Chain A
């Protein structure tokens, strides 16, 4: 038992060290450049692929590793020069969108180059086997080497940051980058250097674990989320914080997974203990993060002056409509709804039944995007976990369906109640934080729920779960008819639109909009923002849950993928592409997004590559951000409406 505990603790330390290597670069990039880089996890994946390729090529692990590192460094530098350099002056939202696009590009490129099948890297012969650490306790030699290499890197980083001129400039830059530049230091070169270094460290982590994990596309995504948790706990910009938090997260996660079920046996019967333990263990680190942030909203080691923590996520100029909803937007919505209402007729006339299926799907995601716009566009709250609420709605249908409760209204009520509760709890914690912390913490809460569903083996876990039937309405199987479903979805969307439009124009909505534009001003006239933001967060969550209820009904299938962070990212893309703070924009955004997806998917299985490129290019091409671009498109239309 003690040996098992030691073994798992060491495994946790080894895992934590890996996380640290990825987190170190990311936290520096946040701290010094105030850049939120979602694609940092991809660099970890690419590092593993580089290692796999070079090891196979040279036949030597050491040589392969030595080649993989400069390759990762080079990739980091190239990315910095080509992409990131253009993002430093942008708001966090643009950074999120651009790096989200970059993930799609790099993940898909890896599939194109190396294929989708996992690669494996052999553990070098000299490092295989295990060593006796103390007493009769043995531990795999390769893992010892990883721990040692990680600790050596951490020590090197410590020396670099604290005792070298570059380190001084890094710390100086983190508190005041323009001042460093005004004293004659080329801050851009420093940024490129930091970026390259961060990429190399992430690549090193990937290369080191390549022999003990399978090298596959998307392996960076889960690491990225954990890295966010690490950075948030440690304090954005603090390398020391990242180190301590990484070890903490690594150990808690690893030990919790093994010992959670064992410890639970003290209070539960073995079968229940193992089931509950397996379900709860993956959530442990998120609970840890929530607890840390509740008491210290800026992490354990907050870095003074780190802009990342304080600045707003959305530049006010990027909001398409800053007043109450305009009449023009209302007319646009009327036109869209009229067009949609006539669609079944059009579909029947042309004999194109698929049109209706796509339109239903578009409307469901439009509902989710519309709900996100309530907090993103009207609250400037960049929630990166909104898909979780869609998932709550979908799973409410699936679970009730499995227990024989098939009525749509009952399901909807349960879904909305569950979403409200989840929003209330996670919102109360998340809204205490600001800036990138808010983005990362909502992301982490979304992932927490994702892992909860993955561990629900009764509902198919990772593979998802097929519904027995669509929901009934007053006992009648009305929704089995696609046209009825279409009109139900249209009705819900239209009602949600009217509700949201009323809401943002009301007293409540005016406070929300005012807080978005200037929270200090709102406090100075006597408003405390939190209750209003939290209410909006709950309402948005409930509407998104309704989208989930409808989604489960349309596809008659639920899966944790509904609530993945990629889905949350897609919802943000829909809102931003359509026009933040317009309510009608997100509906158009959802339509464009889903049709683009269908269209690109018809071309190639690697359609995400094209999609990522389009997204990235849009962000880079529009100087005042995607929001600004959309706003410009909106302006003549609004002016016309105002004169007419």
Chain B
């Protein structure tokens, strides 16, 4: 449903993306891998129009949306969980979920307040708390819940478990599996390669603003030098 072709972008005169190509099919889980500063977050921002691409195409269901306003892109079925979470600090948990809720035109929403609370019971407990009063893990859950409430067909998670405690990470991974099982496509960025290979269908490795490798989880496991060359820390 999402296809990226020749995506280029820059901050001022500093080029970051030099032609990124990949795609995500309906219901598929794809990861973007690569070290810090290689252009993963810029790719996400470019897809969502938060940093309009300098060149290339962003196709959603075959329609090029590069250069459109973020809200127009999101409305075509993309839900963003941004790096740094960016929950609305002055809104309560429930308001965070409700404010940008979107109900699909073709019938009943898959994700309702109840469904999100079912997925993250912790959020129900804290529904009256302001976004700024949440812990890091709770903020991440809220950011995921907030994206789900727009009933997207593709959830994009930028740094899904960054800076979270191991137990909370496991909880997030379990929830992402549940989201996948509900039929959502997922594009995820994270450094937790072990968890990602268990969980994802395909992987895309970005190095210095270009896609240098892509393949399935099995292929990634069979080619250990990929990890060493491009992801090694």
Contacts and interface: CB of A to CB of B under 8 A. Distances in A.
Contacts of A180: 99-100
A172 interface: yes
A183 B150 contact: yes
A178 B150 CA distance: 16
Instruction: Tell me which of A168, A176, A182 has the highest count of chain B C-beta atoms within 10 A of its own C-beta.
Output: A182
Interface in B131-183: 132, 146-147, 150
Contacts of A165: 98-99
A185 B146 CA distance: 13
Interface string A431-451: 000000000000000000000
Given A182-B71, A182-B74, A184-B150, A171 B90 contact: yes
B110 to A, nearest CB: 15
Contact of B88 (A176, A181, A182): A176
A185 B100 contact: yes
A168 B132 contact: no
The 4 A-B pairs with the shortest beta carbon distances in the complex, nearest first, are A184-B74, A168-B99, A183-B100, A181-B70
A208 B95 CA distance: 35
Given A171-B90, A174-B90, A176-B88, A182 B80 contact: yes
B48 interface: yes
B82 interface: yes
Nearest to B44: A182
Contacts of A179: 82, 86, 88
Nearest to A166: B99
A187 B70 CA distance: 10
Interface string B85-105: 010111100011011101000
Contact of A187 (B71, B86, B95, B150): B71
Nearest to B156: A182
Instruction: Tell me which of B69, B70, B91 has the highest count of chain A C-beta atoms within 10 A of its own C-beta.
Output: B70
A303 B147 CA distance: 25
B163 to A, nearest CB: 19
B102 A184 contact: yes
Contacts of B80: 182-183
10 contacts: A168-B95, A168-B98, A171-B88, A172-B88, A176-B86, A180-B100, A183-B71, A184-B71, A185-B100, A304-B132
A188 B99 CA distance: 16
B123 to A, nearest CB: 16
B50 interface: yes
Contacts of B79: 183
Given A172-B88, A176-B86, A176-B88, A182 B50 contact: yes
Contacts of B146: 183
B75 interface: yes
A322 to B, nearest CB: 15
A41 to B, nearest CB: 28
Interface string B207-223: 00000000000000000
A176 B87 CA distance: 9
Given A184-B74, A184-B75, A304 B86 contact: no
A136 to B, nearest CB: 47
A184 B75 CA distance: 5
Nearest to B101: A165
Contact of B48 (A168, A176, A182, A187): A182
A186 interface: yes
Contacts, number: 71
Contacts of B70: 178, 181-182
Contact of A178 (B50, B89, B99): B50
B47 to A, nearest CB: 10
A115 interface: no
B82 A182 contact: yes
Nearest to A176: B86
A182 B146 CA distance: 11
Given A169-B100, A184-B100, A185-B100, A175 B89 contact: yes
A182 B70 CA distance: 5
B71 A305 contact: no
Contacts of A188: 69
Contacts of B102: 184
Interface in A146-185: 165, 168-169, 171-172, 174-176, 178-185
Given A168-B99, A169-B99, A185-B100, A175 B90 contact: yes
Contacts of B98: 165, 168
Interface in B36-81: 48-50, 69-71, 74-75, 79-80
A331 B69 CA distance: 47
Interface string B19-45: 000000000000000000000000000
Contacts of A187: 71
Interface in A334-352: none
A174 B90 CA distance: 9
Interface in A463-482: none
Contact of A305 (B90, B96, B150): B90
Contacts of B69: 181, 186, 188
A305 B50 contact: no
A327 to B, nearest CB: 27
B194 to A, nearest CB: 30
B90 A181 contact: no
A175 B100 contact: no
Nearest to A178: B50
Contacts of A304: 89-90, 132
Contacts of A175: 88-90
A295 to B, nearest CB: 23
A190 to B, nearest CB: 10
A185 B71 contact: yes
A165 B97 CA distance: 11
Nearest to B75: A184
Contacts of A303: 90
Instruction: Tell me which of A169, A174, A184 has the highest count of chain B C-beta atoms within 10 A of its own C-beta.
Output: A184
A334 to B, nearest CB: 35
B129 to A, nearest CB: 15
A282 B48 CA distance: 52
Nearest to A163: B95
B226 to A, nearest CB: 31
A303 B74 CA distance: 28
B84 to A, nearest CB: 10
